[in-house]
Chain A
Amino acid sequence: MTSFDTLMQQARACVDDRRLERVRAWKQENPGALAIGHMPIYTPRPLLEALGCLPVAVFGGGDQVDVIRGDAYFQSYICHIPRSTIELALGGELEPLDGMVFPAICDVIRNLGGMWKLLFPEKWSAYLDLPQNFDRRLGGAFYAGELRRFARELEARGARPLDEVRLRAAIADENARRATIDELDVLRRDEPHRLRASEAYLAVRAGSAMTAAEHTAFLREVLVAARERQTRKLDNVRVVVVGSFCEQPPLDLIITLERAGCDIVADDMQLGMRMIEGAIDAPSAGRDSVDALADAYLDRGAATASRYIGELVKGRALIDRVRAVRAEGVVFAAASFCDPALLDQPMLEAALQREGIAFTTLKYAENTGQFQTIREQAGAFSDSVKLWGGAA
């Protein structure tokens, strides 16, 4: 059995693989196959896998990149992820990617897709217009059509033709990965000392440039090793972190929250891997697996700021999550200038206040390097919850 520490080192190496060496290696092993990057939050990776492509989650440069050229493309009031992504692209670090997907999350990512078309016209790029209408005949039909268009365009670029059998297999792989991530989350929830949030984060993010099957195998190793490891239970406060679905907090920020006395028992970081809540069902009669992907997004898409809530009650999903993981409080951690998270936050805060659930708020950038203030704030929060409650 590989030790837990070794697995974490492997995961860290994957996360730090800025030059996409893994992707380069995969392309060497799969000559002619395409590697397709996708920005947060969500892109249906099984579709890409069924087309013979390697999906690669791109989260910008994090705290590992000095942004020089990227800053020249964005005003000071724009969030950080587009600037570091442009920096990586202009520096050639995203060169192994044959295309990029820009999902509908906010106007920044949307316009970044347009910039891509101007800056890299030779590369395939596409905007994924995720549905905000959740009726299968309306938003579902439109979205399924979008996915088929993607498939046609990628096929024209050398991907394998879309095939029902392969798509079913890719969905099965994705479901297995999703179930394994669920197991990881259950371990975090029930025994957070065995698998810290920062460790689970690394393990999940390690799969950014892996196939679902490869990632599942890795996660299973992590699970086994985490269950076996000898750790000490801590007297921490159980919190849910909300607002970090797109631009990612630096790993050190997550560790800072933990050191400040918080067990992060659920979060929305790198939400794409958990976007579909549960398995993607097999298609019903008369429908195919593209429809099944669309239905999964409509029916089981996680409640997040970039998704219209329709007839649902704002904040209900967060409260349900807090209860389900037996959290004692919520930490709103949003990237600076993140419109979806910051516009959402007052509504979520109001919902928590109505339920008497304690919360605190902080902002970060992916390259934030100073954590003392955050540690003090999170420490004060965890102390206050311990002392005075605010329990769910």
Chain B
Amino acid sequence: MSQERDNSQKRQKTMIADHFAKLSRAKEEGKKVVYTFVPGNLTELLSAFDVLPVLPEINALQSGMRGRSGRYIAEAEKAGHSEDVCTYVKCDLGMLKGGNVGPTGETLPPPDLLLLSYTGCFTFMKWFELLREEYNCPVVMLQVPYQAEGEITPEMRGYVVDQLRNEVIPALERLTGTTYDEDKLREKMKLSSRAEDDLVAVWESARHRPSPVDGYFGGVYYTGPMFSSFRGSQDAVDYYRELREEVEARISRGEGPTTPDGPMTQEKFRLVVEGPPNWTNFFDFWRMFSREGAVVVASTYTRVGGLYDRGFRHTPENPLESLADYCLGCYTNLNLPRRLDLLEHYVKTYSADGFLINSVKSCNSFSVGQLLLLRELEKRTGVPGGFIESDLVDPRYFGKANIENRVQSYLQMLDARMQRRAS
């Protein structure tokens, strides 16, 4: 981003750099490294055991943003991986074959444990089976039942807790040689909850006009510490407190969100977005909206790591049950009717003028059913929807001119509609 960074952004950058530096020193310092996934991640539990997490999706999206993913994907396809399957997986495998150099240029350590948090995405399972072939390390699977009926039942919660007690925690005890300390976990959960309160305040600030935040393009930065390695840490508490203060200051000054070209000066369109962003052309994609005065007031992608704005908090009282509810409640673990309800809630609560679906080829968990969501959401809200297609990290599937054309046509249609309604 070209403009002056906020203090919170600088803080986040330092946090991430420190984390990758720790990872690069992990082996010499005797730290254990656990690879795991963002949705349903058990960051508090991992940090209670003082192990360092690596999140392959984050590495893949970072590779996409740094222009390396195309090469990595090509490497994986040359090695026999199908062009039809998830490009996060292929990007990660290509990166591994290329020396496993992480986003900061430092080599990532191999895993001591693969923690397969199987939440809301079938591909996760295959991904870690593939990684298991590459690394000689144990795997522990945490199956998180799908919320097919739109609710968390006691049986589902019990199943996750039982696996945590009987499989995940013993695996971490074996790995680290330390005993599970529930009080330590409770302390982490308390810190998580404080950071989550501030994140929710940031999301809800988008109810203001103009919205002081972009809840999708900007939102992916806001979720960075929360979704990755920092939940349950004082660093995360400090980051979210600072971010919230910056956002509140913007509200008091009547300012719009930060964009790649500086603060947005005029809010013309308020949108809700469903689906992950494209990472290979992230800033081009963002500018297609920001330059037209379109701000995303809420998005579902920023809820893959937890639905805090719908009330969930990590709580210290029953920490394993709380972790189970967290895993069960991630966005991609909701059934389509619940996803539709949530989108409807966002459109109405955030007074959106329209909603847009970015359908990514790589992610069937998100994408299957989106065309039905489009119709149903239009019916329920009376708000028009737009639909574009791209991919997560495969540059071959980002047709800039085509996508820009679609976005502009959609925004022109919204503009005409808004003018008609105003007159």
Residues from chain B with Cβ under 8 Å of A192 in the complex: none
Q: Is the CB of A78 within 8 A of B368?
A: yes
Q: Is the CB of B130 within 8 A of A119?
A: no
Residues from chain B with Cβ under 8 Å of A118 in the complex: 336-337, 340, 372, 376
Q: Which of B123-143 contact A (CB under 8 A)?
A: 123, 125-127, 129-130, 132-133, 141, 143
- In Å, the complex CA distance between A343 and B127 comes to 8
Partner of B155 from the list A106, A131, A142, A345 (CB cut-off 8 Å) is A142
Partner of A113 from the list B123, B335, B389 (CB cut-off 8 Å) is B335
- In Å, the complex CA distance between A342 and B123 comes to 11
Knowing A117-B336, A342-B82 are in contact, say whether A314-B167 is a contact too (CB < 8 A): no
Residue interface bits B131-164, CB-to-A below 8 A is 1, else 0: 0110000000101011011000001100100110
Residue interface bits B382-410, CB-to-A below 8 A is 1, else 0: 00000001000000000000000000000
Q: Which of B335-389 contact A (CB under 8 A)?
A: 335-337, 339-340, 359, 361, 364-365, 367-372, 376, 389
Q: Is the CB of A342 within 8 A of B84?
A: yes
Residues from chain B with Cβ under 8 Å of A107 in the complex: 121-123, 364-365, 368
Task: Report if A306 contacts B (CB, 8 A).
Answer: yes
Partner of A305 from the list B121, B126, B335, B365 (CB cut-off 8 Å) is B126
Residues from chain A with Cβ under 8 Å of B340 in the complex: 118
Q: Is the CB of A133 within 8 A of B376?
A: no
- In Å, the complex CA distance between A129 and B159 comes to 12
Partner of A346 from the list B81, B155, B156, B364 (CB cut-off 8 Å) is B81
- In Å, the complex CA distance between A106 and B364 comes to 9
Binds B, one of A11-19, A160-168, A333-341: A333-341
- In Å, the complex CA distance between A340 and B79 comes to 18
Residues from chain B with Cβ under 8 Å of A336 in the complex: 84
Task: Report if B2 contacts A (CB, 8 A).
Answer: no
Partner of B79 from the list A75, A110, A145, A346 (CB cut-off 8 Å) is A346
Task: Report if B89 contacts A (CB, 8 A).
Answer: yes
Residues from chain A with Cβ under 8 Å of B336 in the complex: 111, 114-115, 117-118
Task: Report if A181 contacts B (CB, 8 A).
Answer: no
Among A75, A105, A345, A363, the one with the most B-chain Cβ atoms within 10 Å of its Cβ is A75
Partner of B364 from the list A78, A127, A138 (CB cut-off 8 Å) is A78
- In Å, the complex CA distance between A337 and B389 comes to 16
Residues from chain B with Cβ under 8 Å of A145 in the complex: 155
- In Å, the complex CA distance between A278 and B57 comes to 40
Task: Report if B166 contacts A (CB, 8 A).
Answer: yes
Number of interface residues of B (CB under 8 A): 50
Partner of A75 from the list B82, B159, B166, B359 (CB cut-off 8 Å) is B359
- In Å, the complex CA distance between A142 and B166 comes to 14
Residues from chain A with Cβ under 8 Å of B121 in the complex: 107
Residue interface bits A102-129, CB-to-B below 8 A is 1, else 0: 1011111011111101110000001101
Residues from chain A with Cβ under 8 Å of B145 in the complex: 129, 142
Q: Is the CB of A119 within 8 A of B372?
A: yes
Among A108, A114, A142, the one with the most B-chain Cβ atoms within 10 Å of its Cβ is A114
Q: Is the CB of A343 within 8 A of B130?
A: yes
Partner of A114 from the list B80, B361, B369 (CB cut-off 8 Å) is B369
Partner of A111 from the list B116, B162, B365, B389 (CB cut-off 8 Å) is B365
Q: Is the CB of A113 within 8 A of B148?
A: yes
Partner of A345 from the list B82, B335, B389 (CB cut-off 8 Å) is B82
Partner of A340 from the list B81, B126, B376 (CB cut-off 8 Å) is B126
Q: Give min CB distance, A150 to chain B, whole Å.
A: 12
Residues from chain B with Cβ under 8 Å of A344 in the complex: 126, 129
Q: Which of B153-206 contact A (CB under 8 A)?
A: 155-156, 159, 162-163, 166-167
Knowing A132-B125, A142-B155 are in contact, say whether A82-B372 is a contact too (CB < 8 A): no
Partner of A347 from the list B118, B133, B146, B162 (CB cut-off 8 Å) is B133
Smallest CB gap from A112: residue in B: B368
Q: Which of B277-302 contact A (CB under 8 A)?
A: none
Residues from chain A with Cβ under 8 Å of B123 in the complex: 107, 339, 343
Smallest CB gap from A337: residue in B: B84
Task: Report if B17 contacts A (CB, 8 A).
Answer: no
Task: Report if B85 contacts A (CB, 8 A).
Answer: yes
Task: Report if B113 contacts A (CB, 8 A).
Answer: no
Task: Report if B264 contacts A (CB, 8 A).
Answer: no
Smallest CB gap from B133: residue in A: A347
Partner of B133 from the list A73, A75, A314, A342 (CB cut-off 8 Å) is A314
Residue interface bits A336-378, CB-to-B below 8 A is 1, else 0: 1111101111110110000000000001000000000000000
Smallest CB gap from B159: residue in A: A142
Residues from chain B with Cβ under 8 Å of A112 in the complex: 368-369
Task: Report if B86 contacts A (CB, 8 A).
Answer: yes
Residues from chain A with Cβ under 8 Å of B79 in the complex: 346
Task: Report if A31 contacts B (CB, 8 A).
Answer: no
- In Å, the complex CA distance between A132 and B146 comes to 12
Residues from chain A with Cβ under 8 Å of B127 in the complex: 343
Residues from chain B with Cβ under 8 Å of A72 in the complex: 371
Chain A residues engaging chain B, CB cutoff 8 angstroms: 72-75, 77-78, 82, 102, 104-108, 110-115, 117-119, 126-127, 129, 131-133, 135, 137-139, 141-142, 145, 149, 305-306, 308-310, 314, 336-340, 342-347, 349-350, 363
**Sorted from nearest, which 6 A-B pairs have the closest CB atoms?**
A114-B336, A127-B148, A343-B126, A111-B368, A342-B82, A107-B364
Question: Beyond A314-B129, A339-B126: 20 further Cβ-contacts under 8 Å?
Answer: A74-B371, A75-B370, A106-B364, A107-B364, A108-B364, A114-B337, A137-B166, A141-B159, A142-B145, A142-B159, A306-B122, A308-B125, A314-B132, A314-B133, A340-B122, A343-B85, A343-B86, A343-B130, A349-B80, A363-B84
